[in-house]
Structure 1
């Protein structure tokens, strides 16, 4: 499963990367066939946020925590401090690790609101542990 990774380098500059999270054929529920699924990923909490169009074009900011952001509704363009911009649409999954430095900046694509899900992860969960399948929380 492809996830966009936003991270900060040693100088605090933010960048994009594409990272593949491994999916393995496993039983996920009784009485259903096996399905491709990621390893269980522990989370601290989940928060759904409706973002009005006027707030989307926010100034530069680092992520408040290492977290997944799921774009549930709307379109958004994100800029990182190295100058690259990427467009995201409904269904996009982004893993933010730019918790230090300049961060990233959102740009409105249209006049529609966004619905986002923010899912912070515990210390020790990094893009490397996600990519390498080392993020098991003990949950089924």
Structure 2
């Protein structure tokens, strides 16, 4: 059912270390060629991860959420707008539409989130 070709994609992850500091990390995710939706051509899929729920989240222009840990492990994918996220180690990153982050900082100091340049729309998938 699957082919032999593989690919990798980059994934941004936020996590908490043993001292309670939150950091960004760049991870690689393996994708395998799969005949996923015949008769369509094969495509590349990651290993499935069970999800509990998905919601859409609209952050108004100028929204700012001060440092907080994530309420649960989740994947946040930006659909519209621009987000600036700062982790407790001081690093800041901007995410544009199509950007996705694996959010695992459910303990510790956490991260802050700011919607910049208009409303931001995300889909949040709880893991």
Q: Hey, what does 2:21 align to over in structure 1?
A: 13
When the two chains are superposed, the root-mean-square deviation of aligned CA atoms in Å is 1.0
Q: Hey, what does 1:138 align to over in structure 2?
A: none
Deviations 1:96-118 (A, max 9, x none): 110001100013322x1111111
Higher strand residue share: 2
* 1:1-140 equivalent positions in 2, closer than 5 A: 1-55=9-63, 57-110=64-117, 112-121=118-127
* Secondary structure at 1:102 match in 2: coil
Q: Does 82-91 or 33-42 show the bigger shift?
A: 33-42
Distance 1:115 1:17 in 2: 23
Higher helix residue share: 1
Task: Report the TM-score, using the length of structure 1 for normalisation.
Answer: 0.82
Unpaired stretches in structure 1, ≥5 consecutive residues = 122-140
Unpaired stretches in structure 2, ≥5 consecutive residues = 1-8
Number of residue pairs aligned between Structure 1 and Structure 2: 119
Task: Report the TM-score, using the length of structure 2 for normalisation.
Answer: 0.90
